[in-house]
């Protein structure tokens, strides 16, 4: 096992990266005790510089982070906790992650490309649950699962036609339409896109 290089204060920076979406949830510090508790319990522990003690993320809020893996950088002086965020709000402000502002101070809500499918499924689940008026997703879901599956077939055919025609902008547009209905079909069958990605990862070995 690698022995991390802690700084002069006995600390090492830790990035919490979401196992499911890949997004950076937060950054904090750990000392040897915090890292040891994280590895022993499987839940993220950090060191609070202001309070001068080790703390378990979510101990009072319920926003615990289950640690799937701990990674170390090439210089062995920074860590990544690959985590599953319990209630989906990692920041103490109530935001899903601590990096919700640009350097200009504006709030950032647009996901990055690698998050898109996972975040799309979160949005679809929210729409299905809350049923906002004038939502196309709600209208499609309320038309029945068979209609959703039919729509997926239609979009898949349109995507194939776009591939056949070889016009890139049409391929991109039709592929996006198909992926939308694909994720909706997964959602309606209680299938997490994470499960599909994990299966792909299995096949990469």
User: φ and ψ at 159, to 5 degrees?
Assistant: -70, -40
The dotted CATH code for 113-203 is 1.10.287.1080
pLDDT at position 1: 87
Compute the distance between CA of residue 73 and CA of residue 79 in angstroms, rounded to an integer.
6
| pLDDT at position 56 | 98
Q: Tell me if 1-108 shares its fold with 113-203.
A: no
Q: How confident is the model at residue 77 (pLDDT cuts 50, 70, 90)?
A: very high
Residue 162: count of CB within 10 angstroms of its CB: 20
**Mean pLDDT in residue range 53-57:** 98
Query: DSSP per residue over 64-111, as a string?
Result: -EEEEEEEE-TTSS-EEEEEEESSS--STTS-SSS--B-TTS-B--PP
Rounded Cα–Cα distance for residues 62 and 90 (Å): 10
CA-angle at 21, arms to 119 and 1, nearest 5°: 170
Tokens matching residue 9: 């204060």
pLDDT tens, residue by residue, 124-143 = 999 999 999 999 999 999 99
Structural contact between residues 47 and 54, judged by C-beta atoms closer than 8 angstroms: yes
DSSP 8-state assignment for residue 20 = T
What lies within 8 Å, CB to CB, of 70 at 6+ separation is 35, 38, 39, 79, 80, 81, 82
Question: What are the tens digits of pLDDT across the range 15-48?
Answer: 999 999 999 999 999 999 999 999 999 999 999 9
Any idea what DSSP says for residue 110? P
Boundaries of every domain in the chain: 1-108, 113-203
> Which secondary structure element, helix H or strand E, spans residue 24, and what is its range?
strand 24-30
User: 138: burial class by Cβ within 10 Å (0-12, 13-18, 19+)?
Assistant: middle
Averaged pLDDT for residues 101-115: 95
Answering whether pTM is above 0.95, one says no
pLDDT at residue 156 is higher than 90: yes
We find that the CATH architecture of domain 1-108 is Roll (3.10)
For residue 109, what pLDDT is reported?
A: 86
In the prediction, which pLDDT does 201 show? 95
Question: Which pLDDT value is given to residue 17?
Answer: 98
Mean pLDDT to the nearest integer, 139-152: 97
**Residue 45: beta bridge partners?**
56
């Amino acid at each position: 096992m690698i022995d991390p290089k802690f700084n002069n204060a006995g600390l090492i920076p830790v990035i919490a990266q979401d196992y499911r979406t890949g997004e950076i949830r937060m950054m904090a510090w750990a000392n040897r005790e915090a890292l040891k508790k994280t590895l022993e319990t499987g839940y993220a522990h950090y060191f609070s510089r202001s309070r001068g003690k080790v703390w378990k993320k979510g101990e009072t809020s319920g926003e615990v982070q289950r640690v799937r893996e701990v990674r170390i950088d090439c210089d062995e002086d920074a860590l990544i906790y690959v985590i599953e965020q319990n209630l989906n709000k990692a920041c103490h402000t109530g935001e899903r992650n601590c990096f919700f502002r640009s350097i200009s101070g504006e709030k950032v809500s647009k996901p990055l490309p690698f998050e898109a499918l996972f975040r799309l499924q979160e949005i679809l689940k929210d729409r299905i649950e809350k049923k906002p008026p004038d939502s196309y997703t709600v209208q499609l879901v309320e038309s029945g699962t068979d209609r959703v599956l039919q729509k997926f077939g239609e979009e898949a055919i349109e995507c194939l036609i776009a591939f056949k025609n070889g016009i890139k902008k049409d391929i991109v547009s039709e592929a996006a339409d198909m992926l939308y209905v694909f994720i909706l079909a997964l959602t309606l069958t209680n299938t997490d896109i994470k499960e599909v990605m994990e299966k792909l990862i299995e096949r990469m070995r």
